[in-house]
Amino acid sequence: MDGTLIILKHRPKYRGTITHHTPFMTIKAQMKEIAASHGVPPEEIMGMNRMAHIWNRTRSYLEEDERSQEEVQAIIDEINVPFMVQERSEHDISELLPDTLSGLQTLKSEGYEMGLVTTASRESYDRLSTSDEFGRFGEFFPRSITRDECGYIKPHPEPINRMKALSGRDDIVYVGDSDHDALAAKAAGARFVLINTREYDDATINTFSTDGVIENLSQLPEVISWLS
């Protein structure tokens, strides 16, 4: 399951990828500047409008350039600084999705094994998942993967593949709320259920190749039962 258990209290309605992500250009500009200062050609990243794309392309360029793993990680750590600013600001105005705890409790009672995969940092995941404000939802997930455990982040399949290896399972149903979740799930060979908190229209949802669409987690047990 993706870290889509919390949501911005005032998330702007989805109007298309570029519009939806434009408010965060300042953070992305900082990430691009850091990457370029370490020799990543501007043409490789300047046209990107998603933080995950900047992160992944910076790492892949540095590895293709045969930088040492220590240097690559040091540069990624620099990029992570503005990333964390954005992450903390979003989490400060977030709340638990409706029906999350009841949905998770039903899944647990029916014997489903659950793990959480998120682009959030380990610091943020551990803080939010153990917070009473967010229902201590981490208690439902004995295993979790954050970006700190990965080289590449979604839409790259590495985070989901790491969860598959950690759990020792290949029959994964991944639940997420974005195009990046859909792409990562399919690349990892997992089935994908969209929780449509971003209010994607039908035409957009059709591009995700979903195995199911839900509005909240209370609907998930029925969908997973149907997929099993």
Taking only the tens place, the pLDDT of each residue in 71-102 is 999 999 999 999 999 899 888 888 888 889 99
pLDDT in tens, 18-61: 334 444 458 999 999 999 999 999 999 999 999 999 999 999 99
Tens digit of pLDDT for each residue in 147-165?
999 999 999 999 999 999 9
- The residue among 212 and 1 whose pLDDT is bigger is 212
CATH architecture of the domain formed by 94-227: 3-Layer(aba) Sandwich (3.40)
Per-domain residue ranges of the chain: 17-91, 94-227
Transcribe 104-164 into DSSP letters.
HHHHHHTT---EEE-SS-HHHHHHHHT-GGGTTGGGG-SEEE-GGG-SS-TTSSHHHHHHH
**Longest distance between any two alpha carbons in the chain, whole Å:** 52
Q: What's the CA gap between 110 and 21, in Å, rounded?
A: 37
- Whole-number mean pLDDT of the chain? 90
Residue labelled with tokens 């200062």: 37
**4 CB-near residues (< 8 Å, 6+ apart):** 97, 175, 176, 177, 181, 195, 197
pTM across the whole model: 0.89
pLDDT of residue 6: 62
